[in-house]
Amino acid sequence: MTKKRYLAAPLLALSLLPPASTADEQDVIDYRRHIMDTLKAQTAALGMIMSGAIPDDNVVAHIDIIAATAATALKAFEPHVEGGDAKAEVWAKWDDFSARMNEFAAKTAAMAKTAHEQGKDEALAQAVDALSCKQCHDVYREKEKRGE
């Protein structure tokens, strides 16, 4: 009986976890950080171009990279592994979090489509709306944890 309970507990736990739960918890945290670091670096690069600090040769590439990365982000948060910069609210309010992430992916994809079909200036007009990073970070990301 004791043995049966011992076996049942982890099996039940596994059945409740999302697919990626076999990965080590630190791996999950590191992986999503790589994705968010990419978004941070690419939006910073785009911002430098938008401000005129850097010539705009790469602007469409940056927009494409942001859109491609945004599309990978939600998957990285599916395993319920708290820690890193993520607040517990990510999973406590998963419906809202995932809706916002999907909206982010959709808006950045639309911006990339505009860049290819209408041009960079038309695409950049969508940037402020598409890259409303702070609205999510205020709710779902720990503040100042990484000295940022």
- Please give the structure tokens belonging to residue 10: 């982890």
When asked if residue 42 is in the footprint of its own copies (CB under 8 A), the reply is yes
Find the distance separating the first CA and the last CA of the chain, reported in whole Å.
52
Contact 85, 145 (CB under 8 A): yes
When asked if residue 57 is in the footprint of its own copies (CB under 8 A), the reply is yes
When asked if residue 44 is in the footprint of its own copies (CB under 8 A), the reply is yes
Mark the segment that binds its own copies (CB under 8 A) among 56-64, 84-92, 95-103, 126-134.
56-64
When asked if residue 38 is in the footprint of its own copies (CB under 8 A), the reply is yes
When asked if residue 27 is in the footprint of its own copies (CB under 8 A), the reply is yes
Contacts made by residues 112-116, CB under 8 angstroms, sequence distance 24+: 112/63, 112/64, 112/66, 112/67, 115/59, 115/60, 115/63, 115/64, 116/60
Q: Applying CB under 8 A, which residues contact its own copies? A: 19-20, 23-24, 27-28, 30-31, 33-35, 37-38, 41-42, 44-45, 48, 53-55, 57-58, 61-62, 64-65, 68-69, 71-72, 75-76
